[in-house]
Amino acid sequence: MECLIGKSTEQLEQLAASMQQPALRGRQLARWMYRRGVSSFDEMTDLPKSLRATLTNSFAVRAATVVGVTRSDDEVTKFALRFPGLGYAECVRMPSRGRTAICVSTQIGCPVGCAFCASGQSGFHGNLTAGHIVEQVLTALDSSDDDDIAQASVNVVYMGMGEPFLNYEHTVRSIRLLRTEMGIGARSITVSTIGLPKRIRQFAEDEPQVNLAISLHAPTDKLRRQLIPRRCCPVRELLAAVRDYIALTNRRVSFEYVLIAGLNDGRSDARRVGELLRDMLCHVNVIPYNATGTDFRAPMRQRCAAFCELLRQEGVNATLRASRGRGAEAACGQLRARMEAEDRAESAEDA
């Protein structure tokens, strides 16, 4: 059955017209789906009953079935969604400094195959559509008390499964829906990417107000390629694209650096990162590797702190993220880590 999530107000107005209904009905549909977050036509009480029945027979509001909800001690909630014909995706909701952060997936699995990442190691099973991405946000907000989602203080981070820039069109379209249909501000949205230069430049044109996070992880091509086996471009080209992005948007970029013991956590690595980023409008989030069943290990806490301190001495803004969400088979370590890193970056920005 066709589902309506993912359609813009304009498309819903056209749908109404095709059903011999006034355009107003399309706008009502959009308000119920994106602002009130309802998931059945029956709840749309200002639509005529006969129209609700017709819609129920022909369409669904959302695509996925929520097949699991797990909550950890510290209020981190993970939702597992099954998209028919595609597979499982997950999103995570966590409170963060008086706001709600929601982490969404853009693909099922990931084609990049990063050596340290659970999504990368699980293979690639398909792209999610813009509607699927927005649906994750709506699902995570289902228990929210706000009458209008635009009033809820929500941050959306594209840090779940998948590489957003390998599903670029749907990623950008989902951002437009979050902004225009749900009323979420561009600056409350962050996209994390391994960094495809062409897409970074395009993103500066398409969504200059959305926050951009680049997964760097290593200062040299050799090491970076070892960690990011596919779609990994030379560091020089990556940083040239980031410089263009900053020149175009005047926005500060975040770099993410997952710290792995004995691999990329040396003093010389920190110095090299310093040399690369020193003069850039950026912030580095240093994130100790979260165990995902590989042979990698996170460095000792002290060593992580020392790496971060070295970056600062090199003149680069850097924050070591605090560990949170333990006890957590309940929540995906990876997603949690990224949201926390984002949180930290914001704190630093506010300071």
DSSP-derived 3-state class of residue 136:
helix
Distance between CA atoms of residues 157 and 342, nearest Å: 8
Q: What sections of 147-230 are H helices per DSSP?
A: 168-176, 197-206, 221-227
**Under rule CB under 6 A, residue 133 binds ligand SF4:** no
User: Out of 3, 64, 117, 270, which residue is the one contacting ligand SAH (CB under 6 A)?
Assistant: 117
- From the candidates 13, 90, 163, 256, which is the catalytic residue? 90
**Under rule CB under 6 A, residue 317 binds ligand SF4:** no
User: Out of 11, 36, 69, 113, which residue is the one contacting ligand SF4 (CB under 6 A)?
Assistant: 113
Closest CA to 86 of 112, 61, 67: 67
The reply to whether 282 belongs to the active site is no
- From the candidates 332, 340, 342, 346, which is the catalytic residue? 332
Distance between CA atoms of residues 243 and 51, nearest Å: 52
256: partner contacted, choices ligand SF4, ligand SAH, none (Cβ within 5-8 A by kind): ligand SAH
113: partner contacted, choices ligand SAH, ligand SF4, none (Cβ within 5-8 A by kind): ligand SF4
Element (H, E) at 29: helix 23-30
Closest CA to 223 of 191, 270, 162: 270
| The residue count for the chain | 351
Using only the alpha carbons of the chain, give its radius of gyration. Answer: 21
Site for ligand SAH in 303-342 (CB under 6 A): 334, 337-338
174: partner contacted, choices ligand SAH, ligand SF4, none (Cβ within 5-8 A by kind): none
Site for ligand SF4 in 186-245 (CB under 6 A): 194
Closest CA to 79 of 146, 171, 179, 161: 161
Q: Which is nearer to ligand SF4, 26 or 219 (CB)?
A: 219
**Under rule CB under 6 A, residue 110 binds ligand SF4:** yes
Task: Yes or no: say if 146 and 198 are a contact pair by the CB < 8 Å rule.
Answer: no
Q: Which is nearer to ligand SF4, 3 or 102 (CB)?
A: 102
Q: Is beta strand 77-83 parallel, antiparallel or unpaired with respect to 87-96?
A: antiparallel
**Under rule CB under 6 A, residue 325 binds ligand SF4:** no
**Under rule CB under 6 A, residue 37 binds ligand SF4:** no
User: Out of 289, 311, 317, 328, which residue is the one contacting ligand SAH (CB under 6 A)?
Assistant: 289
Active site residues: 90, 332
* Residues contributing to the site for ligand SF4 (CB under 6 A): 110, 112-114, 117, 119-120, 161-163, 194
